[in-house]
Structure 1
């Protein structure tokens, strides 16, 4: 089994605006929460910069962000503590592959994290059990493993030059399921469920901007697998960069990266 990817919060935050926007779009569809002040969990909170959107929307809430990356959690200190609206924001280590709620929440949210959690569908019933009646599960995930961004990475990793080093390193193409799968599963569990997709035409700037984007997320398993061999790492990045330049040509105004995302909002019966 491939090692879990290591994360670089500074690289991740280089495109913070594009990464934060889908969470705002997700939260806009979350209905009123059943408890005041609300109790909220943010699964896969990363460096915490997006978790603060929860405090903006529910100022009095007690919000806990969970992540399994020590490097990401080290960045959350600037956000932790009392919030301006009288709530509280804190952060804790948790691995979503086996996270089990130990208390009741009014909202369990997750932004661009569950695609890294194999078998996350099986976790949904337990998470719903931890919701207050009338509470909500709100999830956003990248849904673009068929895009050149990922397809070229998989093809290169599976080529003769790299297969031995990178076999099994990348996320599976079914790491995010068809939207209907989530709708069926959550509706069967008694939730009023809203599922949709959005494709963002992300305008990136700077040299080899799509490669720079990928270094923050999709490329992390490759960078982890090759961390002990800088020459091999740089060789892979050069080959992947050249493929991306053809797939996403730079324009006078920047480089467009079409990026499809999947959104799920499921409200538990009151």
Structure 2
């Protein structure tokens, strides 16, 4: 993938921020230092500041576009360009929001990521990879001519709460895991297409755009038609059910 698009990602800031707010609400105490792995465009630093006004935050992200946007809009926070799996920053709280699902084999990395936290390791990942939105994305992308250009869409599966508990539970730690399904009410034309175009569909869209902008437009038309059927619009908007999985591991 060429890079993330901060503007597209921030179209649904409130909906994308809500799981992070719910995650940090379960973090005990008041950490003096926080490392945010996969910080994106820095919009969630405000959530951390609202809960812990005096905390010192370091944001880490592998996307140059995201880091550039974060530094421009939040110059008072340190933002570092880096791979969240190899970055060696430590803090009282190490947190990650909707980023680990992009890391192959992320479950095997969780104990090492937790070890970077002097007090608490907390993360949230989407658990909706078999929802109609993602099933249809994989189905349409597998058709010709798109599959010949962009290849198949990987199913980025995440674990269930009990599996994350099993991975993180070890002597000296207490672990809290849970899941929540949010029903977001989206508005405007093709809102589900716009939602996934900023995240799960972005690698496919970028590959098609690079090959032929007309091919990307054709793909978006086919996918949009399928998504409108799966997520019909109502007078109040378009409901999108979105499952999230959470974990908070704290040193005893």
Please indicate, yes or no, whether the TM-score normalized by the shorter chain is above 0.5: yes
Cα distance in 2 for partners of 1:5, 1:254 equals 32
Q: Do residues 108 (structure 1) and 91 (structure 2) align? A: no
Q: Do residues 201 (structure 1) and 183 (structure 2) align? A: yes
The structure 2 residue matched to 1:50, chosen from 33, 40, 44, is 44
Cα distance in 2 for partners of 1:5, 1:115 equals 18
Unaligned runs of 5+ in 2: none
The answer as to whether partners of 2:150 and 2:207 remain within 8 angstroms in 1 is yes
Q: Which residue in the other structure is 1:191 paired with? A: 173
Q: SS at 1:250's partner residue?
A: coil
Q: Deviations over 1:166-208 (max 9, x none)?
A: 224x33242x122222110101364211111111110000011
The structure 2 residue matched to 1:253, chosen from 236, 239, 242, is 236
The answer as to whether partners of 1:100 and 1:126 remain within 8 angstroms in 2 is no
The answer as to whether partners of 1:196 and 1:264 remain within 8 angstroms in 2 is yes
Pairing of 1:85-164 with structure 2 (within 5 A): 89-96=77-84, 98-102=85-89, 104-132=90-118, 135-164=119-148
Q: SS at 2:209's partner residue?
A: coil
Pairing of 1:73-92 with structure 2 (within 5 A): 73-76=67-70, 77-81=72-76, 89-92=77-80
Q: Deviations over 1:122-174 (max 9, x none)?
A: 22222222222xx1111011110010010000011112432222224x33242
TM-score (structure 2 length as normaliser)? 0.94
Cα distance in 1 for partners of 2:235, 2:208 equals 34
Q: Which residue in the other structure is 1:244 paired with? A: 227
Cα distance in 2 for partners of 1:167, 1:21 equals 33
The structure in which a higher percent of residues are helix is 2
Q: Do residues 28 (structure 1) and 25 (structure 2) align? A: yes
Q: Which residue in the other structure is 1:266 paired with? A: 249
Cα distance in 2 for partners of 1:255, 1:65 equals 33
The answer as to whether partners of 1:8 and 1:216 remain within 8 angstroms in 2 is yes
Unaligned runs of 5+ in 1: 82-88
Cα distance in 2 for partners of 1:6, 1:109 equals 22
TM-score (structure 1 length as normaliser)? 0.88
The structure 2 residue matched to 1:12, chosen from 5, 9, 13, is 9
The answer as to whether partners of 2:111 and 2:167 remain within 8 angstroms in 1 is no
Pairing of 1:155-174 with structure 2 (within 5 A): 155-168=139-152, 170-174=153-157
Cα distance in 2 for partners of 1:52, 1:43 equals 15
Q: SS at 2:159's partner residue?
A: coil
